[in-house]
Structure 1
Amino acid sequence: MEFHSLCLRWEIGVQIPTTTLNNGKTIPVLGYGTWLGLDDKFNFPYEDIPKLVETLSYAIDTGYRHIDTAHLYRVEPEIGETIAKKIQEGVCKREDLFITTKVWHQFHKPTDVEVSVRASLRRLRMDYVDQLLMHWPMSITEEGVDEKIDYLETWKGFEAVLELGLARSIGVSNFNVEQMKRLLENSKVPPAANQVEINLNLGQKDLVDYCKSQNIAVVAYSPFGTMVPSRNAPDSPEPKMDNPVLLDIAKKHGKTVTQVTLRYLHQRGIISIPKTVTKSRVVENASIFDFQLDAADCELISKFDNGYRTVRPVFWQDYQGYPFDKVDNKMAIPPALLKWKNGAKQDID
């Protein structure tokens, strides 16, 4: 997949190029991620939602048109409200936006995919989403029971909502190479994208190469990995924000370490969806299209790739369809990942 040389141009702020998916739809190559994460006790930080709303509003004003969310994230109501306000203000039109949401574990029966997307659309105040993703290959009930529904069956539900026009594109998330191959061999409509963790520690070259060979877009979540202090686990490897190699490359180009990181992923042909609730980083993250890393830069950066996963949900590793290698670690599924209400007041189904 090649990124378009022309940029989307806005009256103010950033300019973000687009690329074309395998269904002919265009998607900005950098988006705004809306997952607020879980705290150290695996609770969702509802108190951070107002800050997310404020920053998302600023991002749209600045020129972002690609917004990534999910049922799991609890924030679809606020995202829908923010977007509706921006459309009413004339900042953007609905057709200017590329909105992604995702189907969670308990909606993997083919008929339940439509139930999930219609609920998301109600919360988002929209008639359609631009992309609907299968969040994970596993099917797990709200009680934590493994339903063992084959993701091929779930995909039939995705093809059905595409036919209904509820989603303009369909894809997957957290699928490994083998799962991607099996899905392509047994689907009527190929996925337009696979959203997975990719950062400097986890380059996923084999997966990226395979998806590219099949004209499937690769979207990187957690593009900074453990570089950011909030995810800097005790055993996590370099690089960090103060890594001398990255600092030298950043200084050479007059950029920041995070900009170098996102630029590196962009030059690999990967779409990124960094998340932030800091306004200054909104512009910083998108200011990566005016410089080029050279071969020597890329060679140095590639050496950080050691397969280290920032996101490793060990509590799912015994469930059918778990896509990662298993490790010697056992823990129960956090309640926050089983059942919840949406919105800052936790009162929206």
Structure 2
Amino acid sequence: MTANMYFLSSILLFVLTAFETSAKSVSISNVTTYINSELSLNNGLKMPILGFGTGGNGVTPSVVYDMVINAIDAGYRHIDTAFVFHNEIEVGRAINDRIRQGVIKREDIFVVTKIWNTYHSRARAAEAIRQSLSNLNLDYIDLLLMNWPMGYKEGPVDEPLDKYKLIIPSPVDYVDTWKEMELSVGDGIVKSIGLSNFNSQQILRILDSAIIKPVINQIESHPQLSQDKLINYCKSKDIHVTAYSPLGEGRLLDRTELIAIANNHGKSTAQVMIRYQIQRGVSVIPRTVMKSHMTENFNVFDFTLTSAEMKAIDKMDTNTRYYEEKVAEKHEYYPFSTPY
């Protein structure tokens, strides 16, 4: 049995058993479409367009193990974490338990993590990569991102602040961090590397010096922050985009524009927002601690938003960010000081 056949059969077995009594079960057609919706990255590797996020406001490491177990059981095969979430151990334990139990194989799951800002020097970046591998208890990372272009003072504190409550910066250029990330690919411990929260000018600086091209720029995107210009720029450079916080931190679930569209399809507003990104060709990593919502968020492959509905969602854009990292707004490489 090939890896793909095993992947398909294991998911279908789960669908037929674990959710047989659920009113909101994952349909076989959705699972099949999910498997077939993998994106081809610019290095030839593939990544599922729909992933599962594990960090953010209100998500503590204590609940992450069950979150990831439930996400895998719901069919997700793209799991996103970060060093700064302090939950890599729980994420890795859940993944390894499901591998050991025969639910998935290692090659079935696409694992993303990120280098934090206090690890931007080459020595510290190498240390962070080794630590993430150890935390996850994996032989390799599918996708390693630079969490932000901004280096912070190195040390044990995630956000070292001065007396004015502003970030103490590191003098390290993010281009140097990228060079160490490239080495990790050569060493075989990382399959793909990319960026997160980079603007177009910062991406260009990476491209001008890179040996290995970034495969992804992961950015905040939801109906109030469409990021069309940055997404189009990334596409022009053959860099894929992943949207985090696609539901606007839950603040958009009751918007009347989205409710009307959801009612047209017999779906939830969360499903509409996830589908919106997928139809833009943007991968998406919604996050929830509730098992029923994981299943709901997975069921987005059996409907299509019309052109008029997509335009109606576009009109909701107010350039509203929920993740601004304001403590670093004086940083030389603060990414939100330019239009896109």
Tell me the TM-score range normalised by the shorter chain.
0.7 to 0.9
Structure 1 counterpart SS, 2:141? coil
Write the deviation string for residues 255-301 of structure 1: whole angstroms up to 9, x where unpaired.
11111111111111100001110001111111111111111111111
Which residue does 1:289 correspond to in 2? 301
1:158 counterpart (171, 181, 185): 181
1:72 counterpart (84, 87, 92): 84
Q: Is the 8 A contact 1:259 1:284 kept in 2?
A: yes
Is the aligned partner of 1:186 residue 2:198? no
What is the identity, as a one-letter code, of the residue corresponding to 1:123? N
Question: Quick one: structure 1 residues 51 and 147, their matched pair in 2 at CA, closer, same or farther if it must change by over 3 Å?
Answer: closer
Which residue does 1:235 correspond to in 2? none
The 5 A counterparts of 1:272-283 are 272-283=284-295
Which residue does 2:22 correspond to in 1? none
1:205 counterpart (210, 228, 234): 228
RMSD: 1.6
Which residue does 2:45 correspond to in 1? 25
Which residue does 1:3 correspond to in 2? none
1:155 is displaced (CA, Å) by 0.7
What is the identity, as a one-letter code, of the residue corresponding to 2:202? Q
Q: Is the 8 A contact 1:193 1:217 kept in 2?
A: yes
Is the aligned partner of 1:266 residue 2:278? yes
Is the aligned partner of 1:113 residue 2:136? no
Question: Quick one: structure 1 residues 170 and 59, their matched pair in 2 at CA, closer, same or farther if it must change by over 3 Å?
Answer: same
Structure 1 residue runs of 5 or longer lacking an equivalent are: 1-6, 39-44, 233-239, 327-349
Which residue does 1:338 correspond to in 2? none
Is the aligned partner of 1:299 residue 2:311? yes
Question: Quick one: structure 1 residues 49 and 111, their matched pair in 2 at CA, closer, same or farther if it must change by over 3 Å?
Answer: closer
Write the deviation string for residues 97-144 of structure 1: whole angstroms up to 9, x where unpaired.
100110011111123222111111111101110000000001102344
Write the deviation string for residues 43-69 of structure 1: whole angstroms up to 9, x where unpaired.
xx6xx4343321210111121110000
Structure 2 residue runs of 5 or longer lacking an equivalent are: 1-6, 16-25, 162-167
TM-score w.r.t. the length of structure 2 is 0.85
What is the identity, as a one-letter code, of the residue corresponding to 2:205? R
How many residue pairs get aligned? The number is 301
1:182 is displaced (CA, Å) by 1.6
1:8 is displaced (CA, Å) by 6.0
Q: Partners in 1 of 2:263 and 2:333 — Cα distance?
A: 44
Is the aligned partner of 1:34 residue 2:54? yes
Q: Partners in 2 of 1:207 and 1:52 — Cα distance?
A: 31
Question: Quick one: structure 1 residues 31 and 8, their matched pair in 2 at CA, closer, same or farther if it must change by over 3 Å?
Answer: farther
Q: Partners in 2 of 1:97 and 1:78 — Cα distance?
A: 15
TM-score w.r.t. the length of structure 1 is 0.83
Which residue does 2:199 correspond to in 1? 176
The 5 A counterparts of 1:1-349 are 10-11=11-12, 12=15, 13=26, 15=31, 16=34, 17-37=37-57, 48-141=60-153, 142=155, 143-144=160-161, 145-226=168-249, 228=250, 232=251, 240-325=252-337
What is the identity, as a one-letter code, of the residue corresponding to 2:39? T
Q: Is the 8 A contact 2:122 2:176 kept in 1?
A: yes
Which residue does 2:165 correspond to in 1? none
Q: Is the 8 A contact 2:61 2:86 kept in 1?
A: no
Structure 2 counterpart SS, 1:324? helix
Structure 2 counterpart SS, 1:169? strand
User: Identity over aligned residues, as a percent?
Assistant: 40
